[in-house]
C-alpha cells in the first residue's frame, strides 16, 4: 500500500473506463420511476468549465430537482474543519520527526523544485510541516500540476460544480457518505512507516508519477477511454493498489450507493455526481442499476 491515498485521490476517479463506456452522462429510467434521473462521472483535475464539453450536462441539471454527490457537504464549515483535522499530524508532531536527515534533504530538494523554497523556511514549515506525509505528497503533486497549468483553479472544479449550482438555484443537495467516512477512507489509521513511504515514493519517483498523472489527465480531456483504462491497469499491476484496496475504495461503495439510489430517485428526479471510475464495469454503478431493473442509457 505505497500510494493508496495519492493514487486513490488522483487516479481512481476515472479508472476502468473501457471503450464501450466512452460516456460520462447517463439517463436512468424505468422500474417505476415517473421521471428520469441522471448520473455524471467527474475527475478531480477537471475544471468546472469542462461541463460545457459534456453533451446534455446542463440540460440534465435543469431537469432535476436535486443533486447527490459522493459526500454530504450540506454543512460546508464542518466538512472543511473535519478535513483539516484529518490532514494534520497529531499535535506536537511535525514532518521532520518522521524522517532521517538524508530523507529530509531529498524531500526538501523536491519541495524547492515545486515551490522555490523548502521546509527550512519558517513560513513554509508552519504551513506544510504539520501535514501528514501522505497529504503533503498530494499537495505537492497538485502544486506541481498547477505550475504547468496556469489557469488551473483548485477552487472551481467539476467535482463541486453541480452541488454549487444546485445551492444557487435552491435545489436540494445530498450525498451518499459522510465527510467522516471519506476522511477515514482516505486518511484513516496509517502507521508512520506507511506515511513515510507515500511521501518518499513521490519524492524518489516523481518524474514517473507526474508523467502518469499528465497522461491520465490528457486522456480524460480527450475522451480517450482506451488509454485511461490502460494507464489505470498499469498502476494496479505495479502494485500501487491491491485488489482488496480497490474493492474498498470502489466496488463496495458502488453497491452501497446503488442500494440507496432507488429511494432517492423516487423522492425526486436526481442528478448523481460521482467519480467516473465508479460508473463502468461488471460491478460499476451502471451495471448494478441495470441488474436492479432500471434502464440506463448514455445521453448523446
- Series of mean pLDDT values for 10-residue runs along the chain (300 residues): 48 41 84 96 89 94 96 70 84 92 96 94 91 92 86 86 93 91 78 89 88 80 65 64 79 95 97 87 90 94
Q: What DSSP assignment string belongs to the chain?
A: --SHHHHHHHTGGG-S--GGG--SEEEEE-TT-SS-EEEEEE-TT-BGGGGGGSTTHHHHHHH-SEEEEEE--SSHHHHHHHHHHHHBPPTT--GGGGS-HHHHHHHHHHHHHHHSS-TTSHHHHHHHTTB-HHHHHHHHHHHHHHHT-TT--TTSBHHHHHHHHHHHHT-EEEEEE-HHHHHHHHH-S--HHHHHHHHHHHHHTHHHHHHHHHHHHHHHHTT-HHHHHHHHHHHHHTTSS-HHHHIIIIIHHHHHHHHHHHHHHHHS-EEEEEEGGGSSSTTSHHHHHHHTT-EEEE--
- The model's pTM is 0.84
Give residue 186's pLDDT.
Answer: 77
Give residue 224's pLDDT.
Answer: 66
Encode pLDDT of 241-269 as tens digits.
677 877 888 889 999 999 999 999 999 99
Amino acid at each position: 500500500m505505497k500510494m493508496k491515498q495519492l493514487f486513490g485521490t488522483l487516479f481512481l476517479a476515472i479508472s476502468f473506463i473501457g471503450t464501450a463506456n466512452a460516456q460520462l452522462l447517463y439517463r436512468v429510467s424505468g422500474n417505476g420511476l415517473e421521471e428520469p434521473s441522471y448520473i455524471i462521472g467527474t475527475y478531480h483535475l477537471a475544471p468546472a468549465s469542462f461541463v460545457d464539453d459534456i453533451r446534455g450536462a446542463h440540460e440534465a441539471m435543469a431537469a432535476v430537482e436535486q443533486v447527490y454527490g459522493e459526500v454530504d457537504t450540506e454543512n460546508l464549515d464542518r466538512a472543511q474543519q473535519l478535513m483539516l483535522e484529518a490532514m494534520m499530524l497529531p499535535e506536537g508532531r511535525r514532518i521532520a520527526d518522521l524522517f532521517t536527515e538524508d530523507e529530509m534533504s531529498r524531500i526538501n530538494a523536491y519541495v524547492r523544485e515545486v515551490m522555490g523554497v523548502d521546509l527550512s523556511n519558517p513560513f513554509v514549515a508552519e504551513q506544510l510541516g504539520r501535514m501528514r506525509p501522505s497529504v503533503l505528497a498530494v499537495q505537492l503533486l497538485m502544486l506541481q500540476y498547477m505550475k504547468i497549468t496556469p489557469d488551473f483553479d483548485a477552487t472551481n472544479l467539476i467535482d463541486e460544480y453541480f452541488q454549487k449550482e444546485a445551492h444557487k438555484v435552491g435545489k436540494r443537495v445530498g450525498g451518499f457518505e459522510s465527510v467522516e467516512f471519506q476522511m477515514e477512507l482516505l486518511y484513516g489509521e496509517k502507521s508512520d512507516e506507511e506515511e513515510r513511504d507515500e511521501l518518499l515514493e513521490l519524492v524518489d519517483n516523481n518524474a514517473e508519477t507526474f508523467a502518469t498523472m499528465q497522461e491520465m489527465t490528457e486522456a480524460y480531456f480527450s475522451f480517450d477511454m482506451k488509454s485511461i483504462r490502460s494507464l489505470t491497469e498499469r498502476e494496479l499491476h505495479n502494485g500501487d493498489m491491491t485488489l482488496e484496496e480497490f474493492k474498498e475504495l470502489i466496488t463496495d461503495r458502488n453497491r452501497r450507493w446503488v442500494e440507496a439510489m432507488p429511494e432517492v430517485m423516487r423522492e425526486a428526479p436526481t442528478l448523481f455526481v460521482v467519480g467516473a471510475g465508479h460508473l463502468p464495469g461488471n460491478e460499476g454503478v451502471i451495471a448494478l442499476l441495470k441488474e436492479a431493473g432500471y434502464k440506463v442509457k448514455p445521453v448523446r
